[in-house]
Chains A and B, each alone.
Chain A
C-alpha cells in the first residue's frame, strides 16, 4: 500500500466561546469543534468527509490548511503530515509555498471566492505566476489552457470575462481551473457542487473525476450529500459533533453502515423512485458548546445503553471499517491498528 499523501493524526481544533454569545448556562468556554480526528488521503484516492452542518468537516479542512482564524480558533493537538512534513508545524511562509502549489482548494460558493473586479484569466494566472515564478505571458497562456481543460468553450475570450459575466457552473469551473493550475497533487473540495443545479453538478463531478484520474491526485471531498459521496468517493469518513464516528470504503459504508448515526442518515434520505417511509433521526445535532457526556450521539440514539455514558473509541468492525460505537465493543480498537 502506498504512503498516504496526507496523514492527519489526532487533530483537535478548539474555539473559545465569545463572551457576548449565549452559550447557555454553565457552559464550558472552549469547544472542540474538531476532536482527535485521524484520517488519511492516498494518491489517486477520494476521501469523502460527510456530515451535517456544524459537525466540524469544514473546520477540519481549514485546520489542515492553516486557515483557522486565531482567535477564536486554534489547533491545539495533532499533526497533518503532507508527504511526511507536518503542515501544522510550518510557518506562514512555508505554508504559502505548499498551499496553492501542492495543495489546492475549491470552495462552495464561487461568487464569493472569485475577485469581482479582475478578469478570470488574470485570477488564474496570478497564482501560477506566484508559485511557478513565471512571466506574465506564460501565466496568461497557462490560464487559457486551464480554462480549456475544464471544458469552458472559447477559453481565449472567456479568460477576458469578469466573474459576474459567467454562470454559476462556469464560475465553479474557473475555480477548478485555478485550483489545478499549478498541478497540485492534493485537492480539498468543500461542497464544490452544493450551490449548483443537478445537471451542472453532474458535469462538475465528472470533470473532477476525469482530472483526478489523469493526474492521480488525492482529493479530500467535504459534503453533506450522500448521493455525491456514493458517486465520487472510494473512502468515506462520517463526522458527528466534531468526531469521526465511522470510516469505511464507500461500498461497505452504504451496504452495511455500522454506526447508528450513519444508519439514521441513510434512512433519512429520500431516494428517487423508491417511495418509502422516511425514518428521520429524532432530535437535533448538539451545539459544540454543550456536547453530551460520553457518546455524543447518545441522546438521539435508539440503541443507547448504559455503556454509552463513556466515550467510545473507534472499533474495527471489519478490516478497513471502523465505527465509534459501543455496539462493537467485541471488536478490536481501530486506532491501535497502524496508527503510531
Chain B
C-alpha cells in the first residue's frame, strides 16, 4: 500500500545572524533528517516540547518551507512538483489559536466559503448551500452564518476553522495544536468532532500537539520529536504504555495524571533544552540522557527497530540488536 504522505530525510535549516553588527552567523537545524510515512486514513501524532521543530515540520509538509535536504512526497509526487492550488485543495490546516486564524471583519459564512470562492467552485447559490452544510457538519447552528468571529466562543471559532479546512474536501488535514487554546470541556467537544469527521469523511490527520493524552486519544501512531529529530515512532497505545527512547520515557513520566492515587515514577530530566544553534554532537539528547554511553556523544544513532512497526533512534537499541 502506498503512503498518502512520505517524508524522506527532511531537513530545514535557518541561517541565523546575530551580534551587534549581525556578523555572527550560525545555522539552526530546526528539522533534521526526518523520515515518516502516513497511510491514507491514518492519523499520525507529532509530539514534542516547544522548539522541537514540530510546527516547522508541518510547514515543510505543506510545502511552505524550502528544504535543506530530503523530500516530502504527497500521493507519490514531490510537494514542490504539485501545482500550488491543487496541493492546497488536498492539504488543509487547522491552527491553534481560533482568535487569530479567523479574519475579524468577515462574517462566518464568508470565512467558510472563502476557499470555495478562491478555487472557483460552484455558483454563489451552491456555495451558500455548501457553507450551511459545512456549518452543520461541524455542529454549528446555521444561524451563526451571519455572525462575526468576536460574537462566537473559542470552541465555536475552532469549529469554524474546521469547517473552513473541510470546505475543499481535502485528503490530509494538518492540525497544529488544534485544542490547546480551549477549555477542558470544550476541548473534548472539538476532539470528538475531529474524530467523528475523520471516520465520516475518511480524512487523514497529521496531528501536532504538546499534549500526549490528547494525541493518544486521536491518533493510531505517534512520533516523538526532540531538537529537530524524530527520536521514536510507534503505535500510539504502545508508545504510551512502553516508550523505548529515554526522552520519550522522560516526557511520558512528566505528564500529570488526573488521579491522586497514581503512583508516580518520574524520570526527571537534567538540564535545559540545548539551543538548536549549537546542537550537541552525536545524539542531541545525550547531555540530558540518564543512560548516555560514549558512542552517543560521537554519532547520531541509526533507526533501530524496537518492535513491530516501531523504531527508535537510540544506541541502546542498536546494541541490543547487535548483541
Looking at chain A, what size class is its interface with the partner chain? 35 or more
Cα separation A210 to B64 with both chains bound (whole Å): 46
Cα separation A206 to B259 with both chains bound (whole Å): 17
B184 close to A170 (CB less than 8 A): no
Which of B54-62, B69-77, B250-258, B290-298 makes up part of the contact surface? Answer: B250-258
Would you give the 0/1 interface string for B242-273, flagging 1 where the beta carbon is closer than 8 Å to chain A? 00000000111111111111101010110011
A229 close to chain B: CB less than 8 A: yes
B258 close to A254 (CB less than 8 A): yes
Cα separation A257 to B254 with both chains bound (whole Å): 25
Please, which residue of chain A has its CB at the minimum distance from the CB of B273? A167
A281 close to chain B: CB less than 8 A: yes
For A264, give its contact among B185, B250, B254 (CB under 8 Å).
B185
Looking at chain B, what size class is its interface with the partner chain? 35 or more
B255 close to A272 (CB less than 8 A): yes
Cα separation A282 to B251 with both chains bound (whole Å): 32
A197 close to B210 (CB less than 8 A): yes
- Considering the complex, which residues of chain B in the window 62-91 have a beta carbon less than 8 Å from any beta carbon of chain A? none
For B183, give its contact among A53, A200, A254 (CB under 8 Å).
A53
B216 close to A280 (CB less than 8 A): no
Q: A197-B49, A199-B49, A278-B188 are in contact. Are A224 and B213 (CB under 8 A)?
A: no
A53: chain B residues at CB < 8 Å are 154, 183
B50 close to A272 (CB less than 8 A): no
Please, which residue of chain A has its CB at the minimum distance from the CB of B236? A275
B156: chain A residues at CB < 8 Å are 284
B272 close to A272 (CB less than 8 A): no
For A275, give its contact among B50, B187, B188, B217 (CB under 8 Å).
B217
A304 close to chain B: CB less than 8 A: no
- Considering the complex, which residues of chain B in the window 178-219 have a beta carbon less than 8 Å from any beta carbon of chain A? 183-189, 191-192, 210-214, 216-217
A-B pairs with beta carbons under 8 A, tally: 128
For A205, give its contact among B191, B256, B259, B273 (CB under 8 Å).
B256
Cα separation A197 to B252 with both chains bound (whole Å): 12
Least CB distance from B187 to A in Å reads 7
B183 close to A227 (CB less than 8 A): no
Least CB distance from A189 to B in Å reads 15
Least CB distance from B278 to A in Å reads 14
B188: chain A residues at CB < 8 Å are 267-270, 278-281
Cα separation A266 to B183 with both chains bound (whole Å): 13
A226 close to chain B: CB less than 8 A: yes
A227: chain B residues at CB < 8 Å are 255-258
A198 close to B255 (CB less than 8 A): yes
Cα separation A224 to B182 with both chains bound (whole Å): 11
Please, which residue of chain B has its CB at the minimum distance from the CB of A280? B188
- Considering the complex, which residues of chain A in the window 196-247 have a beta carbon less than 8 Å from any beta carbon of chain B? 197-203, 205-206, 224-231
B256 close to A225 (CB less than 8 A): yes
Least CB distance from B67 to A in Å reads 27
B16: chain A residues at CB < 8 Å are none
- Considering the complex, which residues of chain A in the window 284-298 have a beta carbon less than 8 Å from any beta carbon of chain B? 284-285
A251 close to chain B: CB less than 8 A: yes
Cα separation A267 to B264 with both chains bound (whole Å): 22
A269 close to B184 (CB less than 8 A): yes
For B258, give its contact among A197, A226, A280 (CB under 8 Å).
A226
Cα separation A273 to B213 with both chains bound (whole Å): 8
B50: chain A residues at CB < 8 Å are 168, 197
B228 close to chain A: CB less than 8 A: no
A285 close to B183 (CB less than 8 A): yes
Cα separation A229 to B254 with both chains bound (whole Å): 14
Would you give the 0/1 interface string for B222-251, flagging 1 where the beta carbon is closer than 8 Å to chain A? 000000000000001100110000000011
For A278, give its contact among B217, B236, B255 (CB under 8 Å).
B217
A264: chain B residues at CB < 8 Å are 185
Cα separation A295 to B144 with both chains bound (whole Å): 27
For A272, give its contact among B155, B185, B213 (CB under 8 Å).
B213
Least CB distance from B162 to A in Å reads 15
Q: A201-B256, A230-B257 are in contact. Are A273 and B241 (CB under 8 A)?
A: yes
B216 close to A275 (CB less than 8 A): yes
Q: Interface on A for B, CB 8 Å cutoff?
A: 52-53, 167-170, 197-203, 205-206, 224-231, 250-251, 254-255, 264-273, 275, 277-282, 284-285
What are 25 of the A-B contact pairs (CB < 8 Å)? Answer: A167-B273, A199-B251, A199-B254, A202-B254, A203-B269, A224-B184, A226-B184, A228-B256, A229-B258, A230-B257, A230-B259, A231-B260, A251-B261, A254-B260, A265-B184, A266-B258, A270-B188, A271-B258, A272-B212, A272-B252, A272-B255, A275-B237, A280-B192, A281-B185, A284-B185
**Known pairs A198-B254, A227-B255, A230-B258. 20 more at Cβ < 8 A?**
A170-B272, A197-B210, A198-B256, A199-B49, A202-B256, A226-B184, A227-B257, A230-B256, A250-B260, A251-B261, A254-B258, A267-B188, A268-B184, A268-B187, A269-B213, A270-B214, A272-B240, A272-B257, A284-B153, A284-B155
